[in-house]
Amino acid sequence: MLHGAAAIGALAVTSSTLGGCTSTDANAAARPKPAYYPAAYEEIVDASRREKKVLIYSNTSQTNWQPIFDAFTDNYPWLTDIRATNLGSSAVYERYYSEAATGGSPADLLVSNGGPLWGDYATRNIAADYSSPERSRLPSWAEMMPGIWVFSTDPVVVLYNRKTLDESQYPDGLVSLAEIAEAKPSRFRGKIGVYDPTNAYGYSTNQGYTGSIAGGWATFGRLLPFARADHSSGTLVEKVVSGEYDASFNLSGGVAVPAAEGSGGLLGWSYCREGTVVVPRAASIVKTAPHVNAARLFVDFLLSAEGQGAVAKGGLTPYREGVEQDDQDSLQDVQRKLGPDRVHLYHYTEVPEQTQAAYVARWEKAIG
C-alpha cells in the first residue's frame, strides 16, 4: 500500500491466480444473491462471463487485495483474472488520464485513498453511472462522490519502535508523542517521521487532523519541529523498523497495523487518543471500462457483507454494520474504543491548488 512515487512506464500487476479461465469455470453458477438484489442483476452476471477479467489501477498492496480476490473468485469462478497495480496515489490517476487521452485505457476501476485526487477526479465526469444494490444497506457517505464507492475506512495511526523507546515512552497519539519528544528534545529531533502534505494521502491525514481535532495546529506546532517528512508509507515504516525513526505518524492503519503485527514484537502502534482521523479507501468504475459488468460485480462484492469480511482479512478496515469478522477492528470497533466523538471521517472534496499550497506553507513553517 505504498503511496510514494512509483514507476509508471511498465504496468506492475498482480493477479488472483496464475491459471486461465476454463470452460468449466465459464459455465459455473454464481452464488445466490440476497433478496434485495433486482432480478435484472442476472444480466450483469451473465454478461461478465464473456468479459472474464478485471483490471484495477490501485495504490493498494497485494497483501491487502489477495483475500478479496480469492473470495470474489469463489463467488464468480469464471473471473479468475483479477489484477491490480501497486502505484503511487497520483500515478493511479495520471496513468488513466494519460491513456484515456491518447486512445483508451485497459483499466476498469481506479482505487485510492488520496482524498484531494478523488475531488479532482469527480470534476472530470469520468466515473461510470452505476448504483450498487448494496447502497441501501450502507451509510449515506458510502458513495462519497458520484460513482466513488468507499470500501474501507482506515484509521490514521502512530507506529513506533518498541526497542528504541522505553515502555514509558510508547505514544498513544500525537499529543503524547509531542510530550515525549519535548521531554528530551536533543534525543528526539529528527527521529520522528511524518507523511508529507504535498502528497495526496499526506494532505488528507495532516489536514484531517488539524481540521478535526481540537488544538490540532497547536499539537503540530509542538511535534513537527522533531519530525522529518517522507512521501511513502513504505519508507516511513522501514525507517521505524531500522531505528532511524523512533516513531512515524499519519500512517494508514492498513499499512502500519499489519507491519506491527508481523514484526515479532519490534513495532507497536496506536490510534490517536485525542482524536483519530479515518481516511476512506474507495473504488470507482470508469466510463471506459472494457469489462464493465465484471467491474460492477467487483464493486458490489466489496460493499457486501462477505466482501467487507474479506476487506478485514486483507488488513483494511470494514465499515458495514453487522459484519462478523475477527481479523481487523471495524469502524464501529474504533468508535467503541475511542468514543464516537473522537473518530473523524475524512470526506473527499475538491481542494483548489491555492488552498493546498497555503496549507503546505503553514505546515512547513511549523516543521522548520
Domain regions of the chain by residue span: 13-153+279-338, 155-277+352-367
Contacts of 301 (CB under 8 A, 6+ apart): 68, 71, 72, 75, 307
- If pLDDT is split at 50, 70 and 90, which confidence band does 5 have? very low
Rounded average pLDDT over 124-135? 96
Each residue's pLDDT tens digit, 347-362? 999 999 999 999 999 9
Rounded average pLDDT over 188-208? 96
Same fold, 13-153+279-338 and 155-277+352-367: yes
What is residue 26's predicted lDDT score, i.e. its pLDDT?
65
User: Does the 155-277+352-367 domain belong in CATH 3.40.50.300?
Assistant: no
CB 278 within 8 A of CB 334: yes
- If pLDDT is split at 50, 70 and 90, which confidence band does 96 have? very high
What is residue 46's predicted lDDT score, i.e. its pLDDT?
96
Residue 205 has pLDDT above 80, yes or no: yes
**Which grid cell sits at 324?**
462478523
Mean of per-residue pLDDT scores for the chain: 92
What is residue 25's predicted lDDT score, i.e. its pLDDT?
67
- The CATH number given to 13-153+279-338 is 3.40.190.10
What is residue 316's predicted lDDT score, i.e. its pLDDT?
96
Q: What angle do CA 360, 364, 366 make, to 5 degrees?
A: 120
Q: What is the largest CA-CA distance in the chain?
A: 67
Residue 2 has pLDDT above 70, yes or no: no
Rounded average pLDDT over 152-175? 97
CA 364 to chain centre: 25
